[in-house]
């Protein structure tokens, strides 16, 4: 998988500098919140965040550290979906979505063991993904991507229902983050 292309797609969705009054992330540039930029050493004005630093943050925080690069080796479409979801909802939440979906697709553990839903991609999660894809094949990829997007959409709706100020973003979240799966059909 070409992670640079995935990062390019995310940056295109996120665009440049934004400081919406209802955005709980505060000032953001290239989709990188001020808090994340600070954790990664950037102390300057968010308007001036270097694109190269944003790209490095994406690679480390949203691809390598959560293990989505390892998922991408198994299936590039699933990996790209987790990266995109992780950027918008946090890598742990994206990993939980995968783990939950794998658990409900395993026919009560008859195809592979349940995975602990802990928001961390480890060997058990990777093995379960491999077993699911061996069993279900290309159609399985499409169904898994659809399920991941469905869970993500429900989470966005819950966020807006629980905090009406977030309704400012609900339509855009669904439009830009929950789309038809890009994988096999």
DSSP, residue by residue, 10-24: HHHHH-S-B--TT-T
In sequence order, the β-bridge partners of residue 29 are 32
Residue 37 reports pLDDT greater than 90: yes
| Distance, CA of 48 to CA of 11 (rounded, Å) | 15
Tell me, what's the pLDDT at 46?
97
| Distance, CA of 175 to CA of 140 (rounded, Å) | 24
- 134 pLDDT tier (thresholds 50, 70, 90): very high
| Average pLDDT for 128-151 | 97
Under a CB-based contact definition with an 8 Å cutoff, are residues 18 and 10 in contact? no
Return mean pLDDT, the chain: 93
| Average pLDDT for 64-75 | 98
Domain range summary for the chain, segments of one domain joined by +: 1-65, 66-180
Residue 184 reports pLDDT greater than 70: no
CATH class of 1-65: mainly alpha
Tell me, what's the pLDDT at 42?
97
Query: What is the chain's length?
Result: 185
Interval 79-115: pLDDT, tens: 999 999 999 999 999 999 999 999 999 999 999 999 9
Please give the torsion angle defined by the CA atoms of residues 5, 10, 13 and 15, in that order, rounded to the nearest 10 degrees: -100
Interval 38-55: pLDDT, tens: 999 999 999 999 999 999
Under a CB-based contact definition with an 8 Å cutoff, are residues 19 and 27 in contact? yes
| Distance, CA of 153 to CA of 34 (rounded, Å) | 25
Share of the chain above pLDDT 90, in %: 84
Q: Where are the alpha helices (DSSP H) in the chain?
A: 3-14, 34-39, 51-59, 68-74, 76-89, 91-104, 123-162, 167-177
| Average pLDDT for 171-185 | 73
Tell me, what's the pLDDT at 56?
97
């Amino acid at each position: 998988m070409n992670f640079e292309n995935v990062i390019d797609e995310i940056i295109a969705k996120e665009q440049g500098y934004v400081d919406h009054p209802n955005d709980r992330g505060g000032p953001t540039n290239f989709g990188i919140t001020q808090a994340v930029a600070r954790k990664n050493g950037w102390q300057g004005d968010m308007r001036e965040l270097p694109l190269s630093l944003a790209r490095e943050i994406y690679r480390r925080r949203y691809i390598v550290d959560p293990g989505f690069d390892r998922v991408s080796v198994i299936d590039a479409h699933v990996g790209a979906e987790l990266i995109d979801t992780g950027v918008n909802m946090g890598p742990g939440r994206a990993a939980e979505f995968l783990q939950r979906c794998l658990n409900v697709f395993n026919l009560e553990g008859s195809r592979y063991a349940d995975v602990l839903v802990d928001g961390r991609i480890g060997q058990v999660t990777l093995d379960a993904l491999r077993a699911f894809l061996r069993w279900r094949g290309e159609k399985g990829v499409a169904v898994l991507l659809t399920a991941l997007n469905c869970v993500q959409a429900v989470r966005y709706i819950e966020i807006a229902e629980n905090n009406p100020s977030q309704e400012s973003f609900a339509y855009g979240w669904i439009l830009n983050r929950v789309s038809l799966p890009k994988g096999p059909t």
